[in-house]
Amino acid sequence: MLFRFQPLCRRTPYGRAAFSLIASTLVLSSGTAFADEPKKVNEPPVMREPSEIVQVADAFDDSDPFDLHLSLGYQSTWTSANIYREGSIRQEGLTTGGYTTSNMNVAKYEQRVSRLNTRADIGIFRDIALIVRMPVILSDDRELKGLEGSADQQSLILAGAPGEQLFRLPFKSPTRSGIEYLAVGIDFGLMNQARDSTKPTWVFGIEGRFDVDEPMHACNASPEAVNLDPAVAQVDCAHPSDINRNGAAGDPQFIAENGDQLEGSFSGSRDAGVSRGVTALEGHVYLSRRVKYIEPYGGFKALIEFQNDSSDYGATDLEGSLVNHPPLRGSMIAGIAVMPWEVRDQYQRLTLDFRFTGTYVSEGRDYSELFDALGSSDAPTLRTPQYASYRANTGPNAGNFPSVVDEGSQKVYFTGLTDVQQHGIYTIQASATYQAGEYVKFNAGAGYTFVQGHFITFDQACNPDFDNDVSRSGPCRTTTAGASVGAVEATGIPNPNYRKTINDPGHRFKVDNGTSLDAWISATVMF
């Protein structure tokens, strides 16, 4: 007898539905996992890592007790800008052919920098990493060339006081090399999307930068600037107090007052130097959120620099200075990372990163495009020192001239550092990161930067913060028209960093059409 077995549950529509539900449940429970299930202990962690900007090496994380990432990269930067000068020169040839009385062509600035970037990320705890960086300048070359015929008119365009020329074209700086700075910082992963999928990845970090090499000094490596007469031969990198630029010992008073700030001998030539002569503090915060194959991100960073006494900044930190510190920099960053390809079990991934950075640079004393040219000038109006302060006049003309130069005050020599106007810097960049395996990845990219036009000799004659002391006012005073003797009011105190030939309106220098092109490549090994 033949028996046919048919489950009761399949004889009715309701039974068939129940059977399908049970079968589906068994299939799903047999091995298929949902995206929001907890990560298994033996699951490859490569997919958990966010884009490069918010990655933090960590320690004591699941089966990975320690992380160490070592990176080595090479970067090249090509910078160019046009330098102009205000002017009121009304002579034939200066109002036509590209020249105007308010915007005279001066020079074409070009800079080429080759840099070796070294970095170590050391995991301390979960989402906490110690970071050590040390950029090394392999070569830094700067030069000034004629701009649309300016080399043929430089005796007028680059004129200082009657009979003097501030510098000569073409101009070339010496090649600089050395350690740019040593940076030590720490990054914190305040939130991590891989640990909690309901939250974004949020990273906060702070970094200190320290000088470990010679600060930059204004130098002139142009053959045209070297006088072959042994009696008046000029050295390439003279001390600020060496007025004749002949390598002789500088002003004894300057040496006595600044001996603890200046390094090395006070005779002969100084080293060109490579560092900025500052101690810096940088802070940043970045936020990202991955959605399938893309990860948008954004953030902010700020850089504050404090001048070191061993640099040429030390001699410019004076009471009358309007600006006696380097500029402050604040940046806004926005970008998107795209991961078009990933092989999870082989720890492989390709990431494309597109980023925009906008930076505001405040007014500050800085190394401008004319730092070497003006700082190494032999023009008397720049080489002759200014006195730091004025004193009460006890002579017969004290009524109309209540203050005179205090010859016992500090002498302030021009070092090439100038007051640079506030401006914006805008950068777009693209990079690709290929993680070839569990322990190695490569990065390559390029960026383009545009610098907003700004004045680079922006000092003012008087500091108005001190406007209540006529005995210290010097030329910073006003006299009421038709008033009797003694009707003099102070408008401030003199700025000892002010130089009329480069800071007076109508003589100031300006940079415009500034652009930079960056290209880099790096490799990282991960333990």
| Structural domain count, the chain | 1
Position 48 in a domain = no
How confident is the model at residue 254, as a pLDDT? 57
- 3-state helix vs strand vs coil in the chain, percent to 5: 15, 40, 45
Domain residues for the domain of 349 are 55-460+495-526
Residue 252 burial (CB count, 10 A): 10
406, β-bridge pairs: none
Supply 150's token pair: 């300016």
Burial environment of residue 465 by CB neighbours within 10 A (0 to 12, 13 to 18, 19 or more): exposed
d(CA 238, CA 198): 62
Do residues 359 and 314 touch, judged by C-beta distance below 8 A?
no
Position 478 in a domain = no
Which one-letter DSSP state was computed for residue 327? P
Q: Is the dihedral of CA 394, 400, 405, 406 positive or negative?
A: positive
Position 484 in a domain = no
Position 79 in a domain = yes
Position 165 in a domain = yes
CA 511 from chain centre, in angstroms, equals: 16
Position 406 in a domain = yes
Per-residue pLDDT for the chain (527 aa), expressed as one digit of tens each?
333 334 434 444 444 444 443 444 433 333 333 334 455 545 444 456 888 999 999 888 766 778 899 999 999 999 999 999 997 655 555 544 444 456 899 999 999 999 999 999 999 998 999 999 999 999 999 999 999 989 998 888 999 998 899 999 999 999 999 999 999 999 999 999 988 899 999 999 999 999 999 999 999 986 554 444 444 457 888 888 888 877 765 565 555 555 544 444 444 578 899 999 999 999 999 999 999 899 999 999 999 999 998 888 876 668 888 888 999 999 999 999 999 998 888 889 999 999 999 999 999 999 999 999 999 998 999 999 999 999 998 887 777 788 899 988 888 999 999 999 999 999 999 999 999 998 999 999 999 999 999 999 999 999 998 878 888 888 998 876 554 555 778 889 999 999 999 999 989 999 999 999 999 999 999 98
How confident is the model at residue 340, as a pLDDT? 93
Between the alpha carbon of residue 25 and those of residues 31, 48, 430, the distances in Å are 11, 28, 46
Supply 61's token pair: 């994380």
How confident is the model at residue 189, as a pLDDT? 94
Q: Where are the extended beta strands (E) located within 192-293?
A: 201-210, 278-288
Q: Which residues contact 41 (CB under 8 A, 6 or more apart)?
A: 62, 63
Q: Which residues contact 234 (CB under 8 A, 6 or more apart)?
A: 220, 225, 226, 227, 244, 245, 246, 378
CA 147 from chain centre, in angstroms, equals: 26
Position 341 in a domain = yes
Residue 256 burial (CB count, 10 A): 9
Position 289 in a domain = yes
